[in-house]
Structure 1
Amino acid sequence: MTETVEKDAYQAGYEFVVVANRLAVNRVTAKDGSTGWQRSPGGLVTALAPIMSSSGGAWVGWHGAADETLEPFDHDSMHLHPVPLSGQEVEDFYEGFSNGTLWPLYHDVIARPLFHRHWWDAYQQVNQRFAEAAAKVAAENATVWVQDYQLQLVPQMLRELRPDVKIGFFNHIPFPPPGLFAQLPWRHAVMKGLLGADLIGFQRESDAKNFQRAVRARLGFYIKSDRVFVPWEDDAAAPLEGFTADPARGTAPRQLSVPAEGTFRTSEATAFPISIDTDRIVELSNDPKIISRAAQIRAELGNPDTIFLGVDRLDYTKGIRHRLKAYDELLQEGKLRVGKHALVQIASPSRQGVETYQRLRDEIELAVGRINGEFDTMGHTAIRYLHHSYPVEEMVALYLAADVMLVTALRDGMNLVAKEYVAARRDGTGVLVLSEFTGAADQLRQALLINPHDIDELKAAIVQAAVLDREDEQKRMRSLRRQVVSHNVQRWAEEFMHRLHEL
């Protein structure tokens, strides 16, 4: 076991520490060639910045450049503690284990996960480095909030280093059913790593239950009302006191009774669905410049009757191929017509060094080229495909320009694009076609919910969205907006922190 940190080393630390794969800032280069730092625009940073400011917070993460070591620095009321990664560690820990093993496994094995032992070795080493950095900057009895699947071992590693701190963990992606999770050779280590946290947050109730079922089946820990009773037992290979082998589950233990008082601690695993910075989106949607830009976008597309919009990171979990197939068939059948209807597909670059993503990009661009080659006219394009990332101002203009938002993810922890579209529709119009396999589907029940694997159902929803009665459209959107506006990302962070402190 890792030795605990000496108390004198952390007495002058920070009361609130966030541990994430990336820092809360991006490096920027000015026109004169000088470099500096700019706060990341993501919702997580937006949600936690006020807590950072009020409690004197620190953010631990990688700064984005391999083979470079930076000293800690301050920016926008935050203390930033960079964790260095070598080029080999980026390849093995991030591109390898995080995104070649965990990402596909946690997204229902849509792509085949790869299990390489040297990737796992790198994952452990990097998680240990993050845990040691957090232990170094946290004050006595501080609160530490660890973020996402890249750092699942950090809670337990940090607990061994700093048993005084309160630890939270939030998993931003789905957690797989126990049968799929069982494929992971290092499943026990990952579960015990997560159980080092006092509170483990998931996007959906089903994700929390999947984790609980995996813990019960594989570790045999007693669970009641989302509370996992974790025995004080260091030797993972030894039988736990009060447990016995269950022949039906191989060597997995099954608990016979509630652990005796004083022989365990508890870790709560429950759902805390994340949201967006709705105030910012609403503010931008009322900006005259952005409203004008939305009108310009419609004009550039030839002012069609219906603009369909897809906004995704270029990832095989997003269902872009299914969306293109459905749209293609509707054009073939004459139910959609170029000039009257237009699809804008934003595909933000993602993990361009990974072969799976390179193949996906080739497939999607080939499909778009074929569809456009068959259906384009001299004045109109069937699909406007854009392989770019855009600032939030341009995204809000696109949300305002689009009549229908298509979210066809095959598996998604939440999908914040769906919520951003709803927040931007300040006039109460617009239709959201939403995959039932997104976390957002649990909350946005008035969307047109679809199974993206069912191409006929997807096609029917696209056609329905294009001709939906205006009264029905507005009724649905009003309900969606009430949900999104009242449950913003600040509320998400506050509720998580409140529950963590209750524990």
Structure 2
Amino acid sequence: MSSSLPKEIHEAQQIATDAMDGDKANGDFVDFNDKKTYLLAIPLHGEKSVVGSLMIVQNAGYIDSRLTEIWQNNLIRLFIQIFLIAIAVMLVIRWLIFKPIRNLAESLKSARTGNSASNKFLANSLLFQPLTKEISNIQRSLREARIAVSEEARVSLEKLDSPWTAERLKQFTKDILKDRTIVVVSNREPYIHTKNGNKIGYYFPASGMVTAIEPVMQATGGTWVAHGSGDADRLVVDKNDTIQVPPNDSKYTLKRVWLTEEEEQGYYYGFSNEALYPLCLMAHTRPIFSQEDYEQYKKVNRKFAQTILAEIKYLKKPIVFVQDFHFALLPRMIKNARPDATIGLFWHIPWVSAESFSICPQKKEILDGMLGADLIGFHTQLHCNNFIETVGRELESLIDFEQFTVTRNEHVSLIKPFPVGIAFSNNTEQVSVTEEEILGRKKLLKTLGIDTKYIGIGVDRLDYTKGILERIKGIELFLAKYPAFRGEVTFIQIAPPSKSKIKKYQEFAQAVEQEVDRVNSQFGIKNWKPIVLIEKLHTHDELNQYYRIADLCLVTSLHDGMNLVAKEFVAARNDEKGVLILSQFTGAAKELKDALIVNPYSGEQTAEAIYTALNMSSSEQTKRMKKLRSSIRNNNIYRWSAEFLKTMVSRG
């Protein structure tokens, strides 16, 4: 063996020795400079014996590399096979299980919503064949029941004593509208989508207009055009800026219109809410008339007009239902472009006297814009009278006081009262308070830290027209005059923020908080304060919980077109208990005559009404509540919608 080989080779002499001793080749793997090396010793023969050995040295590192490569390739193949098998399994599950289940769900949804083509969703699967058969039976039963209900509704349409329901309204509109489509226009949208972390949610805004119109759209279908104000509104609409609502139970289309910050500031916060709103509501707040705001108001009305005209472009004799004071110019814009369109305008706030309205610098443009409508509705006859008087004073027109019509430029507008209601038709029978409701009441009051015998409730936007400060004054006078009730009664005031970008509303919110703190400091004792202020938006169901636990409800608006809180309180009281204290300056006071009617400017009257309510006998409460519930049941939102739509159709 060569002596010139490295030391590691000399250490492998045993391999060579074994080869010589055994007279056969001998090899093994050794580490050579940290590299795997293969040593092979071959015996060398002389004439008679083994005389030495030949050592062959070969780098064996490639073997490990090759093994590693083989393992890697095999693992990759294994992962690919697992992935392909998983995909195959998922596809099989999707086609054999998920798709049939989805089709079954669509079939049930279609059957529930009355889609006659619902059978196409039924799954053709052996696995779900028994379920499919049963769903087919359910569909058939639903169709038969729907046909029966429709026939019954059709027969009862002209019966005045028949209660108005969503189903009856749906059948009624189908009969009178034929194939005509309704497009509702409002500033406030019925569903506002917002971001909540990584999720998108939605809420129903605190708006009397939305509360009134939403049930109508659910019953009639069509399109609702409104300002998209939610920070996630753009994320959920399609390429046409539309979305089907209500979420998960589509009944109609919501089309959103986008406004710039400048447009919103001038049109909504400016002219609508700092000029027209205080002008029409006698709450002694001076209107602010800005020509710059009016230009934005006109610009936004024009933008909505263009959107609506695009929506009705291919519709024959469309019906456009315009909501409230945000769009006074809109009827004329649409009528000029589409004379065949039937346009209705409902003014949800009061209309003041001609003398009061005359201070508006843009009064002629506002009135002319409104008179583009074929039908103009207000809550009360007084508001209609005021409007007619205003038109007669400000515009050249022909007024028919017998028919209550205004003719201007050969176009006739009918002016008529339509007192708006709420979605209340069933739930009419007296129901005793259950143990569950008692526990719910205790839980709710415990959450608020309230432990008193009596509860009063007020639900209003933080709006200076709602008489919240006057209400607090009435509560203060009540506690001062009747100290026995201190610690015995708690007044809950739910007041979600409203129009908080307007300085007047910011100041009003601060004033309410200060007055609540003052009264609580004046009369509060350990573990009791007379007023609990909750500045948070609540859902309809949450408000119903408060209505049901209250012994009295305070509605003290300084001026209100209708006020639906009063009606919602009555609707929630299927136990026929509780007392409604209602301002004489609301439209609701004309209907709900069995409420305790007060002048909200008189704190003494409010205080006495609270005392009367808390001392009213159970039988007297029931007697009054029955009459109140009968009134709102007979004059609900479905009747209001039917009468308004019927009158609109008759105009064109």
| Residue of structure 1 aligned with 2:182, choices 9, 13, 16 | 16
**Aligned-residue offset at 1:177:** 1.2
Cα distance in 1 between the residues matched to 2:183 and 2:220: 8
Aligned letter for 2:229? G
**Aligned-residue offset at 1:182:** 0.6
Structure 1 position 439 matched with structure 2 position 587:
yes
Cα distance in 2 between the residues matched to 1:341 and 1:483: 29
The 1:231/1:385 distance shift into structure 2, 3 A limit, reads closer
CA contact (8 A) 1:46 1:277 kept: no
Structure 1 position 309 matched with structure 2 position 457:
yes
Cα distance in 2 between the residues matched to 1:156 and 1:301: 54
Alignment of 1:157-176 (within 5 A): 157-176=333-352
Aligned letter for 1:184? C
Aligned letter for 1:44? A
- Decide which structure has greater helix share: 2
Alignment of 1:132-147 (within 5 A): 132-138=306-312, 139-147=315-323
Which residue of 2 is the match for residue 237 of structure 1? Answer: none
Task: Provide structure 2 residue ranges, at least 5 long, that are not aligned to the other structure.
Answer: 1-178, 245-249
Which residue of 2 is the match for residue 456 of structure 1? Answer: 604
CA contact (8 A) 2:241 2:257 kept: no
CA contact (8 A) 1:304 1:340 kept: yes
| Residue of structure 2 aligned with 1:72, choices 241, 255, 258 | 241
| Residue of structure 1 aligned with 2:401, choices 203, 224, 235 | 224
Which residue of 2 is the match for residue 63 of structure 1? Answer: 228
Cα distance in 1 between the residues matched to 2:564 and 2:553: 12
Which residue of 1 is the match for residue 369 of structure 2? Answer: 193
Q: Which 10-residue stretch deviates more, 34-43 or 447-456?
A: 34-43
Alignment of 1:120-131 (within 5 A): 120-131=294-305
SS, match of residue 348 in structure 1: coil
Cα distance in 2 between the residues matched to 1:229 and 1:296: 56
Structure 1 position 112 matched with structure 2 position 315:
no
**Aligned-residue offset at 1:467:** 0.8
Structure 1 position 180 matched with structure 2 position 338:
no
SS, match of residue 140 in structure 1: coil
| CA deviation map 1:4-57 (0-9, x unaligned) | xxxxxxxxx9721111113332214466x243667768423432223443xxx1
Q: Which 10-residue stretch deviates more, 483-492 or 437-446?
A: 483-492
CA contact (8 A) 1:281 1:396 kept: no
SS, match of residue 513 in structure 2: helix
The 1:196/1:430 distance shift into structure 2, 3 A limit, reads same
Q: Could you say which structure has the larger radius of gyration?
A: 2
The 1:38/1:65 distance shift into structure 2, 3 A limit, reads closer
Aligned letter for 1:50? Q
**Aligned-residue offset at 1:310:** 1.0
The 1:392/1:289 distance shift into structure 2, 3 A limit, reads farther
Which residue of 2 is the match for residue 205 of structure 1? Answer: 381
Aligned letter for 1:17? V
**Aligned-residue offset at 1:488:** 1.5
Which residue of 1 is the match for residue 191 of structure 2? Answer: 25
Which residue of 1 is the match for residue 104 of structure 2? Answer: none
SS, match of residue 411 in structure 2: strand
Which residue of 2 is the match for residue 92 of structure 1? Answer: 266
Structure 1 position 35 matched with structure 2 position 211:
no
Q: Which 10-residue stretch deviates more, 119-128 or 63-72?
A: 63-72
SS, match of residue 316 in structure 2: strand
Which residue of 2 is the match for residue 239 of structure 1? Answer: none
CA contact (8 A) 1:229 1:267 kept: yes
Q: Which 10-residue stretch deviates more, 431-440 or 485-494?
A: 485-494
Cα distance in 2 between the residues matched to 1:86 and 1:281: 44
Cα distance in 1 between the residues matched to 2:273 and 2:418: 23
Which residue of 2 is the match for residue 270 of structure 1? Answer: 416
CA contact (8 A) 2:212 2:420 kept: no
TM-score norm. by structure 1 comes to: 0.85
SS, match of residue 433 in structure 1: strand
SS, match of residue 181 in structure 2: strand
Structure 1 position 340 matched with structure 2 position 488:
yes
SS, match of residue 377 in structure 1: coil
Cα distance in 2 between the residues matched to 1:421 and 1:378: 31
Cα distance in 2 between the residues matched to 1:174 and 1:287: 41
Structure 1 position 430 matched with structure 2 position 578:
yes
| CA deviation map 1:229-261 (0-9, x unaligned) | 3232xxxxxxxxxxxxxxxxxxxxxxxxxxxxx
Percent identical residues: 32
Structure 1 position 475 matched with structure 2 position 623:
yes
Cα distance in 2 between the residues matched to 1:113 and 1:48: 33
| CA deviation map 1:437-482 (0-9, x unaligned) | 0010010011000111122222111111111132222211111010
Q: Which 10-residue stretch deviates more, 214-223 or 118-127?
A: 214-223
Aligned letter for 1:314? L
The 1:78/1:100 distance shift into structure 2, 3 A limit, reads same
Q: Which 10-residue stretch deviates more, 90-99 or 472-481?
A: 472-481
Aligned letter for 1:27? H
CA RMSD, 1 decimal: 2.5
Alignment of 1:328-477 (within 5 A): 328-335=476-483, 337-477=485-625
Cα distance in 1 between the residues matched to 2:370 and 2:334: 11
| Residue of structure 1 aligned with 2:443, choices 286, 290, 296 | 296
Which residue of 2 is the match for residue 49 of structure 1? Answer: 217
The 1:25/1:282 distance shift into structure 2, 3 A limit, reads farther
**Aligned-residue offset at 1:411:** 0.4
Aligned letter for 1:491? R
SS, match of residue 624 in structure 2: helix
Aligned letter for 1:476? R
SS, match of residue 628 in structure 2: helix
| CA deviation map 1:380-432 (0-9, x unaligned) | 12111111111112111100110010111000111101001101111111110
Q: Which 10-residue stretch deviates more, 367-376 or 190-199?
A: 367-376
The 1:188/1:326 distance shift into structure 2, 3 A limit, reads same
CA contact (8 A) 1:304 1:342 kept: yes
Aligned letter for 2:630? R
**Aligned-residue offset at 1:484:** 1.0
TM-score norm. by structure 2 comes to: 0.66
